[in-house]
Amino acid sequence: MNRIDLEGRAVVITGGARGIGYAVAQRALQSGASVALWDVDGERLAHSQRELAALGKVSAVMVELTDEAAVAKATAQTVADHGSIDVLINCAGITGGNGTTWELAPDVWRRVIDVNLIGPYLTCRAIVPQMLKQGYGRIVNIASVAGKEGNPNASHYSASKAGLIGLTKSLGKELATKNILVNAVTPAAAKTEIFDSMSQQHIDYMLSKIPMNRFLLPEEAASLILWLSSEDCAFSTGSVFDLSGGRATY
Interacting residues with ligand NAD (CB under 6 A): 15, 17-21, 39-41, 63-66, 91-94, 115, 119, 142, 144, 187, 189-190, 192-194
Shortest gap between Cβ of 93 and ligand NAD (angstroms)? 2
Distance, CA of 132 to CA of 99 (rounded, Å): 42
| Residue closer to ligand NAD (CB basis): 3 or 127 | 127
Residue 62 DSSP one-character state: E
Write down the H helix ranges in the chain. Answer: 19-30, 42-52, 68-82, 106-113, 119-134, 145-149, 155-174, 200-208, 218-228
| Residue closer to ligand NAD (CB basis): 18 or 82 | 18
| Residue closer to ligand NAD (CB basis): 177 or 201 | 201
Question: By the 8 A CB rule, do 190 and 221 touch?
Answer: yes
Distance, CA of 188 to CA of 15 (rounded, Å): 18
| Residue closer to ligand NAD (CB basis): 38 or 181 | 38
Which one-letter amino acid corresponds to residue 47?
Answer: H
Shortest gap between Cβ of 7 and ligand NAD (angstroms)? 26
Which residues, including other chains, have CB under 8 Å from residue 107's CB and lie 6 or more apart?
none
**159-196 b/e with 16+ CB inside 10 Å = b?**
bbbbbbbebbbebbeebeeeebbbbbbbbbbbebebbe
Shortest gap between Cβ of 32 and ligand NAD (angstroms)? 23
Active site amino acids: 157
Shortest gap between Cβ of 178 and ligand NAD (angstroms)? 25
| Residue closer to ligand NAD (CB basis): 132 or 210 | 210
Shortest gap between Cβ of 11 and ligand NAD (angstroms)? 15
Distance, CA of 204 to CA of 151 (rounded, Å): 12
